[in-house]
């Protein structure tokens, strides 16, 4: 489950997954990075990777780096506006809805990653190196 971390003047959105996991899905199963509306036709939220600090809004999350701890989770780093006195309230308003959508997208990752692993195994079985 993605989470929001506030430290000093920084707000970090941390994915439940690594940057490498998201990059793998971008390459092999990009549909798994998309949340569709109830009719299954309209994209309402999309996850991806970028360079730099990343960004998150009501329409998507683009992760730009990894956490510095052993977990190496994908992160988005943003600065709190100067003068913010209620950091939690700001986080709720600025990215709260996006976090709910991000968690819905990330719930699809396990099945998608299993499918990618299965496809890769099938491909490897058909390769002969001489």
pLDDT in tens, 99-115: 999 999 999 999 999 99
Block residue for tokens 């970090």: 12
Confidence of residue 71 (pLDDT cuts 50, 70, 90): very high
Using CA atoms, how far apart are residues 91 and 14, in angstroms rounded to an integer? 13
Instruction: Name the token pair of 91.
Output: 């986080």
At 17 the three-state DSSP class reads: strand
Q: Compute the average pLDDT of residues 81-101.
A: 95
Confidence of residue 40 (pLDDT cuts 50, 70, 90): confident
Spatial CA neighbour of 49 closest among 78, 71, 27, 16: 27
Instruction: Name the token pair of 32.
Output: 């798994």
What is the per-residue pLDDT for 80? 96
């Amino acid at each position: 489950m993605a989470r929001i971390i506030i430290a000093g003047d920084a707000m970090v959105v941390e994915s439940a997954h690594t940057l490498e996991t998201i990059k793998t899905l971008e390459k092999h199963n990009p549909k798994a990075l998309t949340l569709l509306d109830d009719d299954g036709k309209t994209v309402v939220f999309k996850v991806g990777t970028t360079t730099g600090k990343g960004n998150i809004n009501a329409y998507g999350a683009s992760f730009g780096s990894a956490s510095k701890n052993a977990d190496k989770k994908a992160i988005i780093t943003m600065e709190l506006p100067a003068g913010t006195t209620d950091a939690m309230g700001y986080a709720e308003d600025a990215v709260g809805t996006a976090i709910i959508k991000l968690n819905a997208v990330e719930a699809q990752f396990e099945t998608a990653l299993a499918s990618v692993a299965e496809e890769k195994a099938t491909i490897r079985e058909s390769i002969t190196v001489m």
